[in-house]
């Protein structure tokens, strides 16, 4: 009887331990295929493709050989049916381009706060005028980076197919000329299978 109770107790403890939630860290760069929604792997693939394409495009190579042009990142228009944080994609692209040493960026998302700080330094009377940052010395962007993200979704009773297309463009603000454009296509398919077979 005691032996039976011990076995039942051990079995119960094993089951309960198995039910306990487990939190662990994973590889942020590993392939993620939880579902067909836009995910981290898609973001990383898009950023890598855009940056690689741009950095080896001959006119860009020539343009960046002697200087680091200043770029500002406009938004990526999300034309898909999903909520996608497109700023996160452009942030990754911007970081990679900046770290390549080929481009410099102006960040238009913090202009208000920069202006506030410059006003404080110039007008508050609390900052030593000889140490204050001078107004009107910022460098204007020469190029604008912008683009689109679109998708086509098709499904039937057992299959869902999602096609994403990301387009990025680099425009010369002075001339209005498109200096470079890159595209990345992604296809994801989910098949509902019986018993995972």
Partner 1 sequence: MKPIHVLMAVLMAAVLAGCSASNMASRDKGEDGQYETVLKSNNSLLYSRLQIAQLNERQVGDLMQVQATLENAWKFELDFQYKFKWFDANGFELAPEGQAWRQLILPGRNQANVQAVAPNPTAARYEIWVRE
Interacting residues with partner 1 (CB under 8 A): 27-31, 41, 44-45, 48, 51-52, 55-56, 61-62, 64-65, 96, 99-101
Enter the DSSP assignment of 119. Answer: H
Instruction: Specify the residue, 52 or 116, whose C-beta has the smaller distance to partner 1.
Output: 52
Provide, rounded to whole angstroms, the least separation between the CB of residue 30 and partner 1.
6
Give the other-Cβ count within 10 Å of 131's Cβ: 7
Provide, rounded to whole angstroms, the least separation between the CB of residue 77 and partner 1.
24
Instruction: Specify the residue, 96 or 160, whose C-beta has the smaller distance to partner 1.
Output: 96
Provide, rounded to whole angstroms, the least separation between the CB of residue 64 and partner 1.
7
Provide, rounded to whole angstroms, the least separation between the CB of residue 141 and partner 1.
22
Instruction: Specify the residue, 44 or 172, whose C-beta has the smaller distance to partner 1.
Output: 44
Roughly how many angstroms between the first and final C-alpha of the chain, as a whole number?
A: 43
Cα 123 → chain centroid? 38
Q: What are phi and psi of 86, to 5 degrees?
A: -70, -20
H-helix or E-strand spanning residue 152:
strand 143-155
Provide, rounded to whole angstroms, the least separation between the CB of residue 43 and partner 1.
9
Distance of alpha carbon 101 from alpha carbon 9, whole angstroms: 63
Instruction: Specify the residue, 36 or 44, whose C-beta has the smaller distance to partner 1.
Output: 44
Contact 145, 104 (CB under 8 A): no
Instruction: Specify the residue, 98 or 132, whose C-beta has the smaller distance to partner 1.
Output: 98
- Cα–Cα nearest to 94, from 185, 32, 27, 168: 168
Provide, rounded to whole angstroms, the least separation between the CB of residue 66 and partner 1.
10
Q: Where are the alpha helices (DSSP H) in the chain?
A: 2-19, 40-56, 58-63, 86-99, 111-123
Instruction: Specify the residue, 2 or 28, whose C-beta has the smaller distance to partner 1.
Output: 28
Residues found in the chain = 197
């Amino acid at each position: 009887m005691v032996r039976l109770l011990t076995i039942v107790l051990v079995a119960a403890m094993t089951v309960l331990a198995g039910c306990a939630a487990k939190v662990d860290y994973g590889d942020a760069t590993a392939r993620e295929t939880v579902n067909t929604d836009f995910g981290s792997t898609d973001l990383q693939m898009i950023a890598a493709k855009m940056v690689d394409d741009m950095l080896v495009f001959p006119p860009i190579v020539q343009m960046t050989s002697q200087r680091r042009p200043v770029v500002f990142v406009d938004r990526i228009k999300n034309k898909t049916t999903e909520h996608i944080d497109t700023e996160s994609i452009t942030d990754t692209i911007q970081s990679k381009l900046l770290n390549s040493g080929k481009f410099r960026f102006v960040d238009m998302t913090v202009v208000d706060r920069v202006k506030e700080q410059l006003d404080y330094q110039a007008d508050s009377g609390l900052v030593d005028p000889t140490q204050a940052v001078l107004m009107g010395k910022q460098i204007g962007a020469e190029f604008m980076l912008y683009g689109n993200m679109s998708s086509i979704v098709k499904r039937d009773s057992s299959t869902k197919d999602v096609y994403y297309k990301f387009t990025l463009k680099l425009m010369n603000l002075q001339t209005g000329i498109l200096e470079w454009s890159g595209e990345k296509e992604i296809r994801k398919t989910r098949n509902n299978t019986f018993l995972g077979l």
